[in-house]
Amino acid sequence: MSESKDHLAQGKIAPSRRNGRVSAKPTMSDVARLAGVGTMTVSRFLSGSVAVSSETAQRVQSAINELNYRPNELARAFRGQRSRTIGLIIPYLYDPFFANCVHSVTTVANEHGYSVIITTSNEDTEKEFVEVERMLERHVDGVVAIPARFNESRITRPLFGKTPVVVFDRPVADPTLDAVTVQNTGGARRIVEHLIEHGHKRIAFMGLSRSLFTINARFLGYRKALQDAGLEEDAFFGCDSQEDTLRAVESKLRGPKTPTAVFTSNTLATRYVLTALFTLGVKMPNDLAFACFDDFDLAEFCSPPLTVVRQPAQEIGRVAASLLFDRIARGEIPKTGNRIVLPVEIVLRRSCGCKHRGSVVIH
């Protein structure tokens, strides 16, 4: 009895204390008090989990309006099991491919009523690790990630406990994680075959580090195409900066076996190589035929328009996010994750030497 009296007393002094604090946000019990009901009635009214009489509903609603009450999502997340938040990790944003992926992931998440905590790793596995921990401490319900330098990434099941994880663009060693990738090898192989069909015998490959999954996969496609045609490889990994790339391009062009075509393996390398060719005054496609992985706005307006392998960026993000929400809904961690491989599209423009445009989908 005395206990319950205590509670009542508290209930009575609470409002004045509240009013004392100028800016305290109204809480559910403020609403309950004003409406003359218990907090659970307010809670139920908000969640709709259990019916409340339409008359009380009215009163609660007006109390909410009057106080301009908003539920404290932090308290909910803390109390319950779900934070309604997912984490999103990508290397960086200035690659339009990554930016598009982010756009679709956030869109899907918001459609599910979720918030997205985003972070950029800059390909730094240590920063990635720190940020993953931060996300886990915030109890995100799941994580979508493009792992930094895939093999070295510390993104593995044990780190996440029972929090679902979907990686995309690059898989990871851990087979229990879901992964969404594209036909990197197939796409690269096909476009190099196309260059071969144009009659090229000496085709160079330019890329960033081979320790990046996508770059390596594309290199393997390039290699396969050359091997099948009995041609010799000529690959350079190390387009880490404009200067390095310029040096590499220069030495290739001055070398004894000057390539007649070049294939660049992602947007960044493409930019560096194009700049280098521009600097050196090389004319495409006559001096050198050109094709690259990753489409971008205005590839159409380059001089000449560029032949590319296009990835469905938004689609990749959408599929990865959907997969994650699937996992979250089911609540179980699979023994073996899904491995989804999306098709790419070859877009023929002029830089390869084609006179006519065209496109082919590679599954």
Partner DNA sequence: CTGTTAGCGCCTTCAA
Partner DNA sequence: TTGAAGGCGCTAACAG
Decide which of a copy of itself, DNA, none touches 214; Cβ closer than 5 to 8 Å per partner kind. none
Query: What would the x/- binding string for a copy of itself be over residues 98 to 117, using CB under 8 A?
Result: -xx-xx--xx--x----xxx
Q: Does 41 bind a copy of itself (CB under 8 A)?
A: no
Letters for 129-168 (x = contact with a copy of itself by CB under 8 A, - = none) are: --x-xxxxxxx---------------------xx------
- Choosing from 2, 51, 162, 363, the residue that interacts with DNA (CB under 7 A) is 51
CB of 315 to a copy of itself, least distance (A): 14
- 3-state class (DSSP) for residue 26: coil
Q: Which option in a copy of itself, DNA, none does residue 55 bind, with CB closer than 5 to 8 A by kind?
A: DNA
Q: From the CB of 164, what's the least distance to DNA, in Å?
A: 19
Indicate the angle between helix axes 313-330 and 96-111, nearest 10 degrees: 40
Q: Which stretch binds DNA (CB under 7 A): 29-37, 169-177, 248-256, 258-266?
A: 29-37
Tokens encoding 144: 């979508």
Q: Which does 242 bind (CB under 5 to 8 A by kind): a copy of itself, DNA, none?
A: none
Collect all residues with Cβ–Cβ distance below 8 Å to 315 and sequence separation of at least 6. 104, 342
Taking the alpha carbons at both ends of the chain, their separation in whole angstroms is: 73
Q: Is the dihedral of CA 179, 184, 185, 186 positive or negative?
A: positive
HSE, side-chain direction, 13 A CA sphere, residue 186: 15
3-state secondary structure (DSSP) of residue 216? helix
Binding flag, residue 72, DNA (CB under 7 A): yes
CA–CA distance, 316 with 260 (Å, rounded to integer)? 33
Q: Which residue is it, tokens 């009214």? A: 45
Q: Does 40 bind DNA (CB under 7 A)?
A: yes
Cα(327)–Cα(331) distance, rounded to whole angstroms? 6
In the complex, least distance from residue 28 CB atom to DNA, rounded to whole angstroms: 3
Burial status of residue 336 (CB atoms within 10 A of its CB: 0-12, 13-18, 19 or more): exposed
Residues 21-40 that bind a copy of itself (CB under 8 A): 23, 25
Write each residue from 79 to 98 as x if it is in contact with DNA (CB under 7 A), else as -, in one continuous string.
xx------------------
95 and 293 Cβ atoms separated by less than 8 Å: no
Chain residues that interact with a copy of itself, rule: CB under 8 A:
23, 25, 70-75, 77-78, 83, 85, 88, 92-94, 96, 99-100, 102-103, 106-107, 110, 115-120, 127, 131, 133-139, 161-162, 267, 271, 274-275, 278, 296-304
